[in-house]
Structures are given as C-alpha cells and as structure tokens.
Chains A and B, each alone.
Chain A
C-alpha cells in the first residue's frame, strides 16, 4: 500500500466515522447545551458524504442509523438521482427497504418534503408508488391524511374513486361504502362513530364533541395500539381507568423514559418491582446481541445537563440508564458508578431507580473510581460536558492512556447528545472513541464500528462489510 493510499484510507475512515456518529446521535432537535442549528450542521455532513462516498452513503441506510437521518439519506439520493447505471437498482432496493422500515409518519413527511422541493423524477415516483402499494391506504388516509394526499398528488399514484373522493373532496359524498372512511365522515356529526376510528384520529373528534377525557379513554381502549397504550397509561391510570401496561413489555428506552417521568417518591416505593421490570425489558433488548466477557464498568453521568430539553425531557439520562440495564443483561460482572455515590460503585441496579439529573459533572472522579475496579471494558455514558473541574477528564484519560493503561483495557464513551458545532457528539479524550448513542442498542452496533475507527479495517473493507449487512436488510424488508 502506498502512502497516499494510506492517507486516503485514513481520511475516508475519519469522514465515515464522523458521519456515522452524526447519524446515530443527531435528530435535528435541540440539545441541552446547543439550541437550534443541528439541522444545518447535519445537512452539511449529508451533502459531503453524498458527493464523496455515494456507495457508502447509500449503504448507511442498512447500518441502523436513526430515522431522521435515514429520511435525509433517502431525500438526498432521490434529489440527485444519477448514481450511475450499475448502482441504481441496488440503491432503489435500499431505499425501498428503508422506507418500509421507517415509521409511516416519517415517510409521509419525507414525501411532502420531496413535493415541496419539487423532486419529481421517475425514481421518486417509483419509490412513492412502491411504498403506497404495500400500505393499507384506507387506514393511512385517516391517520396521515395530509401526507397521503401530498404523496398521491405528487406521484400521480392511481387510487380508486372512493379513496380519491375521500382525499380530495369528501363532502361531495353523502356516504362512503368502506367502513373506515364512512366512520370518519360520520364522526364529524355523530359522537358514537368516532369509537370506530384509530385512537389519534378519534382524539381530535372527541375534543370537537367535548367528550370528557376519562369517558373517551375508557371507550377507545380496545382501539388503542400497544405503543399508544404505553404512551398514555400514566394518564389513564390517573383518571381511574385500569390498565395492564408494565415497563417490562416496553422497548427498553421507552421503559426508562417512563420511569424517569415518575416522581421520586413513587420510584422509591416501588424500587424492586420497577428494577425487575426494567431488567425484563433489557433482557428482551439484549436478545440477539453478543455477550460481553469479563468485568464491565459503567460511569453514569447524572448531572444537571443530562436532563436534556423540553422536547425530549431527561432523554440523555434515560439513554445512560438504559445502557446500564442493557449491559447488565449482557454481562455477568457489571459495576455502575454514578457521579454521586459509593466509591466502590454499585452492582445493584435497584439503587439507580431514583437517579435524578442534578448537580455538577465530576466525570474524572467517577471515571477514576471505575478504573480502580480494574474492568476489561469501561463505558462512560455522558454528554461530555464536564464542569467539576472542566477539562479534568481529558487530562486524566490522556495520562491514564500514556502511563497506566493495559493494552487489553477497552474504554468507550457513549454520548447521547449531538453537538452541531462539532458535527458530532462531543468527545472526552483522543484515546477513547466516542459513540453517538440515541438508543442503547446503538451502542452495540457502534462498538463494531469502533474497530474500524481504530484502524483494523480500511474503507474498502467497510464497504464490503456494509454490503454484507445490507443484503439481509433488503431481503427482510422485501
């Protein structure tokens, strides 16, 4: 290999890792330390990748990046449709698979965006058509009425006459034949009809008919999906309606978010049960992932800044807490080190149930405490903003790396917050790879990429590797 090849590989490696990190962590929403501005920053990364590494860029759809970024990738690929003849079919398959995997509201928002941008090439129309052909359009017409209308209008997708009337001039009919469409029409005039509609659609009509919330929730219960029941069960229980929702059956991150929304007194009172339920949720999340051998230490940043912002309350802390439970499910010897707590750390996750995001970040102290228990893998779950004292973690980790680190000791920084000014999550040390983590499962995917970052793989190898991931991704969706 020549020097320029090596340099090229290194640049490629750094670019791809920067992008990948951004794609796991950036959501376009605000973060605690940075206001708006994320969209601009991440849009630049996407444009850069699209121009320079188009094959890898398209393959990212299969790498488990978050939905916000997947939508951006699809948008950019369709906006610049000329991929070269050889690659186009492959890209189309990736796009179709990604659209099927994404939540429909995001897909419809993407279609509306394509319409706004006047992207209406043949590939775009084909992608929209392929997506719509697999959907239950009556249902989507209720739930995503504007999105579906935009998509149909934009792609000139042929819908049957009844649905066409429903979308574009529903008042012209005195009745629809298909039950869902008819229920929607009738719900404008009759209270009883709205209970045949999906929950979120019925909610609007219930407000319009001034139906008391408790009565509405009681009667709509059979129509609610699992996610809807999980989202509203706290409210439902407050109104005195019984539910059978438990944290154990939720996805891990939703379970911890729900936990953190409970008040401290309740959490302390039900500490054991809640911890058990979270362990169950974690066990499910860990399924299919490789177990981690040896001792693992987790530094859990519970400082004030981990509370996140109003749009996503306590999300960073929830990610850190989920990481604790997930690691607990994946290894036998986990020690957790919250910022304030016993110096020996804790192996009992029940003590984390009442964690709250308060106080200054003394990350260096907690990390050194963690390293004292001599772990094979140390995970630092933190937004990377250290305040007590600032800069100590970097200095301490640099010194640790230079003088005390054993070669088999692995350290990873899991950062739930994207920093748009850096185009990536904030790092804490040059010797500890930082992974943008929106969901604890990302951590496991990301750890595989860390090896790539530390120079084990080259760019070509990564492409090959991504291809291997992409094949089942496309197949599964089809």
Chain B
C-alpha cells in the first residue's frame, strides 16, 4: 500500500492552559473557526468485531474486539439530523447479528471504514481508534516472503495470524471519570491532549466544538495501553504556580501579564506533546471523501522514543479535522520495532542480527521475549537458548 509522510500540526488550533486532576492532565485545544464542510457524529452500537478483508460470507481477515461505538463522517451539505441512528442500523445490517446474549446487542461490522450505500462518497462510517490499532496489527502481517528454514510452516502460509494486543478501557483508569466531569470546557474547544503522569497518552481533535462536546466523555470508552494504570496510580502531577516578580505600572500591564501566562502555558504544552506533533509518521490513506481524506499512521518505532499510532481526517492542505491517537506501551513499540527490522532485512535473521551488532541467538531470544515465539520452529528456540544458533 502506498505510504506517505504525515506530521500532525496544531494549525488552526491553539492550546489552552491545562486542568489537572490528580495524575491526569487535560490540555484543551481551541479552534478559532470550525472546519467547514465536515460533520462528525458518534453512534453507539455495541459490536464484537469487524470483518476487515473479504466479504461477510467469506471473511479473509477479521478484527475481534469490543467495539462500543462508531464514528460517522458526513461531508454532504444537506441535513444530517438522523444520520447517527440511520447508520447504526446500516452497520448492523452489514453483519450477521444475532442474539448470543439478549442484553448485549452485538453484531459485526463490515470493514473498519465503509462508505454509506446510496451516497456519493460523502458519508463514511469508521471505528475510532480500532482503525489505528488494526493498522498496527497488520504491520508486516504477511510475514516472510522468502522461505527461511527458521520460521514455521504456519507463518509461511498464514503470516503472523493471530496477532493480538492488550489494552484497557478508559473507564478502568482511576480518576478519569472525575477528571472529565470536573474539566471546564473552553469556548470553542475542539480537542484535548490527554496526559497521565505527564506522559501524553492520546490526542483528540474534532472538527467543531459541538462535535467535541459529544466526544468528551467518550475518553472513558476509548482504550489505552495497560501501563496507563501504573502511571495513574503512582504519579501525581503538580499544578504549577505562577511567578509574580514584576512591577506593573498600570492595569494594562497586569492584563498583559495574564496573557503572557497563558502564552507560556500554550508553548509549554506544545513542547510536552512534541513526541506526537514534532515527528513525521508513516501514513496510509484509508478513504477519500469530498475534500478530505481519512488516514491512519504508524511511527518509525525507533527504540529510544515514545510512539503513537493514530488516525486522522485531514483536508487538502493537511490541516486536521479529526485526530485520535493511542500511545503504544514499551512492549508494543518493541514488537513494532522488531517487525520493522526483520522486514527491512527481508526476514533474514543473520543480516538483522548483524545490523544490531548481536548474535543470531540473542536476536531470536529478543523476538521470542517480545511475544513472537510462535514464529520459530521449536528447535530454533532451543538452539538459541543454548547459544548454539
């Protein structure tokens, strides 16, 4: 698939001063003007998975997870009042939904992002964050293209399937419910930077303040890498104090002083979010809408940094209309890194080990410890453990 470089930017957004609640810091992203020509809705539909490749009757690839809700993007100019409900029925129509459990309405989605039938590429339904997560899971999913003797037949035939990752729901996070309740939304606020223990966990941007207000509480149903609970339990974040050592001559000076505090905050928060906004990501286009495109992106997985995966809707000039990101845990980033490294060397263990300056045994053990033991034949692992590879 064609990839291109993508760096999210704060263009059209300004950063407000953060609000802190125990270990959680929320930084408001404020829009001066709503993004025209696009609307975003959230629809609640509890589903248990999505067929991401192939038809519903003959699925080739499936993504199984709890999917609490879907997003609907609408670039049509016409009225969109009942979009949400109409699409939810549509979504469940694509799937063979049944009554496994009476209380949980469930079904299957067809495709992570799917245009709505009967409309000319103006309306799209997609599954927030899962779209990005799937992008991460299918990263070098096909496995080796050449037959190397170390890999199992299964991997040769079916790739890395089943590939899985763990995450926790926002609701499990102590204090998040309170933090969202106590947070005072700014006028024109269209997004948020979400920090736990002063580490950026997620960035959310919506096209308008109205759309964001509906997404604000959805942080509770979003998912996060499981290390987030440790950050929340052990880190408390200081609410910074302001230095007041100047000599104002008038009330105008004081007003300027207050504005300077605000600007300092803004600058500081932008620096805190540098790991996401200060770097180029590798993006692929998922869907093209009128005047906008839905993309998802992966980081470069360099071992020393923190990495975010995410999805975005950008306009022709690369400005964000929508953004949602997920910060990978260290283990997840390491898995991404090792897969990239293997793929770069055509899955040749000797060449890969050489590039790392390690032995083949060490490399195999690293891959095994990262959770990919199932790639190798049993004797390869045994030899690696004995240092004989």
Interfacial chain B residues near A186, Cβ < 8 Å: none
Interface residue? A303 (CB, 8 A) = yes
B255→A403 contact, CB < 8 A:
no
Q: How far is the CA of A388 from the CA of B251 in the complex (A)?
A: 18
B248→A391 contact, CB < 8 A:
no
Q: Which of A33, A365, A389, A403 contacts B265 (CB 8 A)?
A: A389
A361→B265 contact, CB < 8 A:
no
B241→A391 contact, CB < 8 A:
yes
Interface residue? B239 (CB, 8 A) = yes
Q: How far is the CA of A439 from the CA of B239 in the complex (A)?
A: 31
* Contacts between the two chains (Cβ within 8 Å), count: 88
Q: A396-421 vs B: 1/0 string, CB under 8 Å? A: 10111001100000000000000000
Q: How far is the CA of A276 from the CA of B28 in the complex (A)?
A: 39
Q: A193-211 vs B: 1/0 string, CB under 8 Å? A: 0000000000000000000
A404→B254 contact, CB < 8 A:
yes
Interfacial chain B residues near A33, Cβ < 8 Å: 182
Q: How far is the CA of A362 from the CA of B249 in the complex (A)?
A: 22
Q: A347-375 vs B: 1/0 string, CB under 8 Å? A: 00000000000111100110010011000
Interfacial chain A residues near B240, Cβ < 8 Å: 390-391
Q: How far is the CA of A372 from the CA of B251 in the complex (A)?
A: 7
Interface residue? A340 (CB, 8 A) = yes
A388→B17 contact, CB < 8 A:
yes
Interface residue? B250 (CB, 8 A) = yes
A32→B261 contact, CB < 8 A:
no
By CB atoms of chain A within 10 A, which of B18, B182, B184 has the most? B184
What range describes how many residues of A lie at the interface?
Answer: 20 to 34
A399→B244 contact, CB < 8 A:
yes
Q: Which of B19, B244, B248, B249 contacts A390 (CB 8 A)?
A: B19
Q: How far is the CA of A32 from the CA of B16 in the complex (A)?
A: 22
Interface residue? A395 (CB, 8 A) = yes
Interface residue? B1 (CB, 8 A) = no
Interfacial chain B residues near A404, Cβ < 8 Å: 248, 250-251, 254
Q: Which of B18, B19, B242, B251 contacts A368 (CB 8 A)?
A: B251
A389→B17 contact, CB < 8 A:
yes
Interfacial chain A residues near B274, Cβ < 8 Å: none
Interfacial chain A residues near B186, Cβ < 8 Å: 359-360, 388
Q: How far is the CA of A33 from the CA of B249 in the complex (A)?
A: 36
Interface residue? B331 (CB, 8 A) = no
Interface residue? A305 (CB, 8 A) = yes
Residue of A nearest to B182 (CB): A33
Q: How far is the CA of A259 from the CA of B241 in the complex (A)?
A: 38
B262→A368 contact, CB < 8 A:
no
Interfacial chain A residues near B249, Cβ < 8 Å: 403
A368→B185 contact, CB < 8 A:
no
By CB atoms of chain A within 10 A, which of B186, B244, B246 has the most? B244
A32→B257 contact, CB < 8 A:
no
Interfacial chain B residues near A295, Cβ < 8 Å: none
Q: Which of B16, B244, B258, B265 contacts A360 (CB 8 A)?
A: B16
Nearest CB of chain A from residue B281's CB, rounded to whole Å: 31
Interface residue? B89 (CB, 8 A) = no
B246→A390 contact, CB < 8 A:
no
A399→B255 contact, CB < 8 A:
no
What range describes how many residues of B lie at the interface?
Answer: 20 to 34
Q: How far is the CA of A359 from the CA of B246 in the complex (A)?
A: 30
B255→A303 contact, CB < 8 A:
no
B255→A304 contact, CB < 8 A:
no
B184→A399 contact, CB < 8 A:
no
Secondary structure class of chain B's binding surface, majority of residues: loop
Assuming the contacts A368-B251, A403-B247, asked whether A387 and B17 have C-beta atoms less than 8 A apart, the reply is yes
Interfacial chain B residues near A38, Cβ < 8 Å: none
B258→A304 contact, CB < 8 A:
no
Secondary structure class of chain A's binding surface, majority of residues: helix
Interfacial chain B residues near A358, Cβ < 8 Å: 185
Q: How far is the CA of A249 from the CA of B57 in the complex (A)?
A: 71
Q: Which of B20, B183, B258 contacts A396 (CB 8 A)?
A: B258
CB interface residues, A 118-132, toward B, < 8 Å? none
Nearest CB of chain B from residue A415's CB, rounded to whole Å: 17
B258→A305 contact, CB < 8 A:
no
Interface residue? B187 (CB, 8 A) = yes
A388→B262 contact, CB < 8 A:
yes
Interfacial chain B residues near A390, Cβ < 8 Å: 17-20, 239-240
A394→B242 contact, CB < 8 A:
yes
Q: Which of B16, B28, B185, B248 contacts A399 (CB 8 A)?
A: B248
CB interface residues, B 219-246, toward A, < 8 Å? 239-244, 246
Nearest CB of chain A from residue B209's CB, rounded to whole Å: 11
B182→A360 contact, CB < 8 A:
no
Assuming the contacts A368-B254, A388-B262, A389-B262, asked whether A304 and B242 have C-beta atoms less than 8 A apart, the reply is no
Residue of B nearest to A393 (CB): B258
Residue of A nearest to B255 (CB): A368
Interfacial chain A residues near B28, Cβ < 8 Å: 360
Q: How far is the CA of A19 from the CA of B253 in the complex (A)?
A: 37
By CB atoms of chain A within 10 A, which of B16, B185, B258 has the most? B258
Interfacial chain A residues near B257, Cβ < 8 Å: 395-396, 399
Q: Which of B18, B19, B258 contacts A392 (CB 8 A)?
A: B258
Interfacial chain B residues near A365, Cβ < 8 Å: 255, 258
Q: How far is the CA of A388 from the CA of B17 in the complex (A)?
A: 6
A368→B184 contact, CB < 8 A:
no
Nearest CB of chain A from residue B124's CB, rounded to whole Å: 31
Residue of A nearest to B240 (CB): A391
Residue of B nearest to A391 (CB): B242
A305→B182 contact, CB < 8 A:
yes
Interfacial chain A residues near B246, Cβ < 8 Å: 399
B244→A305 contact, CB < 8 A:
no
Q: A16-33 vs B: 1/0 string, CB under 8 Å? A: 000000000000000011
Assuming the contacts A390-B19, A392-B242, asked whether A304 and B250 have C-beta atoms less than 8 A apart, the reply is no
Interfacial chain B residues near A399, Cβ < 8 Å: 244, 246-248, 254, 257
Interfacial chain B residues near A304, Cβ < 8 Å: 183-185
A371→B184 contact, CB < 8 A:
no
CB interface residues, B 1-29, toward A, < 8 Å? 16-20, 28
By CB atoms of chain B within 10 A, which of A368, A388, A400, A404 has the most? A388
Q: How far is the CA of A269 from the CA of B261 in the complex (A)?
A: 40
Interfacial chain A residues near B254, Cβ < 8 Å: 368, 396, 399-400, 404
By CB atoms of chain B within 10 A, which of A33, A389, A390, A396 has the most? A389
Q: How far is the CA of A303 from the CA of B182 in the complex (A)?
A: 11
Nearest CB of chain A from residue B116's CB, rounded to whole Å: 34
Q: How far is the CA of A32 from the CA of B181 in the complex (A)?
A: 9
Nearest CB of chain B from residue A422's CB, rounded to whole Å: 14
B258→A364 contact, CB < 8 A:
yes
Nearest CB of chain B from residue A467's CB, rounded to whole Å: 42
Q: How far is the CA of A158 from the CA of B54 in the complex (A)?
A: 87
Residue of A nearest to B266 (CB): A389
Rank and list the top 6 A-B pairs by shortest CB-CB distance, nearest first. Answer: A389-B17, A395-B244, A304-B184, A391-B242, A395-B242, A360-B184
Q: List 20 A-B contacts (CB under 8 A).
A: A33-B182, A304-B184, A340-B187, A359-B184, A360-B185, A361-B184, A364-B258, A365-B258, A389-B258, A389-B265, A390-B17, A390-B19, A392-B262, A394-B244, A395-B244, A399-B244, A399-B247, A399-B248, A400-B251, A404-B250
16 more contacts with CB within 8 A, not counting A390-B18, A390-B240, are: A303-B184, A359-B184, A360-B28, A360-B184, A365-B255, A365-B258, A371-B251, A372-B251, A388-B262, A389-B17, A391-B240, A392-B262, A395-B261, A396-B254, A399-B257, A404-B250
